[in-house]
Structure 1
Amino acid sequence: MVSSVWAALGLSLTCISALSLISPAWFQTQTFSFGVLTYCSLPQGNSWNQSCVTFRSLEDIPDFAWKVSAVMLLGGWLLLAFNAILLLSWAMAPKGLCPSRVSGPMPGVQAAAATATIAGLLVFPVSLASPFAKAVCEGSSAYHGGRCQPGWGYVTAIFNAILASLLPVISWPRVTMTSIQGMTIFFSSDTERIILVPEMNK
């Protein structure tokens, strides 16, 4: 049951991360918005008639910091997707094959995904100093949006990174220790085993 919850969380984080990556609303004005992979222009007062363009390769992305951020964010998403597949297979595997089913097989993959995503989020605002962003945002510079405001895509990516960084911490194996009648009992929530160890007399 617990492993199924972790698998569902992993899949949810992967889907939310993909949604934020393809979103063009990372920084936006009333008539223009852009994200990591897409930018859109929309007529004044007509948000339904917008036209969008997707960067098809790294060469099309207009700034070096933007390219670095895109690589980090895509790498973080790939690690999230890989971790979600591992968690799903972990949850669906027969219990006899996987006695340790609580925190998943590889919490380090989730931590690496969170690290790459956070690094990409920190690098992306440097691209506000690019000629592309300056033309759109009028007076923008690194970590200063000018006329552009952060959109829902960037905010969603930040919340997703926070959740992805918290999950490895709360899923780490926890071991508690209890002393009963001269015996020390270790309860491991990860291995689901009880280990009895005699106490040493002082």
Structure 2
Amino acid sequence: MPSPVLLIWVVLTVLISGTCTFSFLQPYWFVHKNSFQSFGMISFCFKDIQTYKVREVCKFYGGSFSMGRVPVRAWQAACVLFGGGCALISLSAFVSVCVICLPIGYQKTTTKLIGYIQIVAVLIMVAGLLIYPLGLESSFFRHYCGDGASSYHSGQCMIGWSYMLGIMGAALSVFCPFLAQFTDLKPGDIFLTN
């Protein structure tokens, strides 16, 4: 039977992988206070006014996904970093599920290796999260959120829920490499028994 720490590590890794990837794909990293305009890593939303109703339309920058179409260089760098971290954490989630099926002798070696990969994933995701707000001073962002926008100050826009979800996912992912080092602990090692 797998160790409880191994099971917690696997579940946490899978949940964080889903959370960070979901956050990466959403267009609500920064949202305008008074309108439907919102901006994400790879897509944005705007208000489409038709004859009798207003609806929100979300699209990739430039119409289809391409790194060259992301309008701000800092967002391109953040996209590569945060997206790369999401890919690494997703890879580690897949491997962590497979680790449960491995013989105990291979589990420890594999979990330590995946723990090191998770450290790299955490670092590059955090770098992406820190670089993204540097693009707030771009003319593209200022056009929608006012001339008061600058690096780390969003002007008339505010931080959206998907940026906060990305921050939360990256913060929780710090625990994965730590847990990976203790996946071989047995229940008797964790709980004091007489």
Q: TM-score, normalised by structure 2?
A: 0.81
- Residue 106 of structure 1 is aligned with which of 82, 106, 114? 114
Secondary structure at 1:42's aligned position in 2?
strand
Counting aligned pairs with the same residue, the percent is 24
Structure 1: give runs of 5+ residues left out of the alignment: 175-187, 194-202
CA displacement 1:156-185 (0-9 Å, x = unmatched): 0001000111221244249xxxxxxxxxxx
CA deviation map 1:129-170 (0-9, x unaligned): 111110111121111100010010000000100011122124
* 8 A Cα contact 1:36 1:66, kept in partner: yes
CA distance in 1, matches of 2:95, 2:112: 8
CA deviations over 1:15-63 (Å, ceiling 9, x no partner):
111110111110001320011011001369xx98210111311110111
Give the corresponding residue for 1:189: 185
The reply to whether residue 5 of structure 1 matches residue 8 of structure 2 is yes
5+ residue gaps, structure 2, are 190-194
Aligned amino acid, residue 7 of structure 1: V
Which protein has greater RCO, CA pairs closer than 8 Å, 6+ apart? 2
2:74 corresponds to which letter in structure 1?
Answer: A
The Cα of 1:78 is off from its aligned counterpart by 0.8
Distance in 2 (CA, whole Å) between partners of 1:62 and 1:167 is 34
- 2:50 aligned with 1:42, yes or no? no
Identify the structure with the greater strand proportion. 1
Query: Would the aligned equivalents of 2:29 and 2:38 in 1 still touch at CA under 8 Å?
Result: yes
Change (3 A) 1:105 1:92: farther
RMSD, aligned α-carbons: 2.8
Of structures 1 and 2, the larger Rg is shown by 1
8 Å Cα contact 2:46/2:58 also seen in 1? yes
Measure how far apart 1:103 and its partner are: 5.1
**1:15 is the counterpart of 2:15:** no
